[in-house]
Chain A
Amino acid sequence: GNSVTQMEGPVTLSEEAFLTINCTYTATGYPSLFWYVQYPGEGLQLLLKATKADDKGSNKGFEATYRKETTSFHLEKGSVQVSDSAVYFCALSEGGGNKLTFGTGTQLKVEL
Chain B
Amino acid sequence: DVKVTQSSRYLVKRTGEKVFLECVQDMDHENMFWYRQDPGLGLRLIYFSYDVKMKEKGDIPEGYSVSREKKERFSLILESASTNQTSMYLCASSSGGTLAKNIQYFGAGTRLSVL
Contact = CB atoms under 8 A, between A and B. Distances in A.
A98 B107 contact: no
Contacts of B90: 43-44
Which of B43, B44, B58, B108: most chain A CB closer than 10 A?
A: B43
A104 B108 CA distance: 18
A64 to B, nearest CB: 15
B7 interface: no
A89 B50 CA distance: 24
A104 B103 contact: no
A103 B103 CA distance: 17
A40 B31 CA distance: 26
A43 B48 CA distance: 17
A67 B106 CA distance: 27
Interface stretch (B61-69, B76-84, B94-102): B94-102
Sort chain B's interface into a size bin: 20 to 34
Contacts of A93: 99, 102
B8 interface: no
A42 B9 CA distance: 10
A42 B41 CA distance: 18
Contact of A96 (B43, B58, B99): B99
Given A32-B99, A43-B4, A44-B92, 12 more contacts: A41-B108, A42-B109, A43-B109, A98-B48, A98-B94, A98-B96, A99-B45, A100-B45, A102-B43, A103-B42, A104-B40, A105-B42
Interface of B: 4, 31, 33, 40-45, 48, 50, 58, 90, 92, 94, 96, 99-100, 102-109
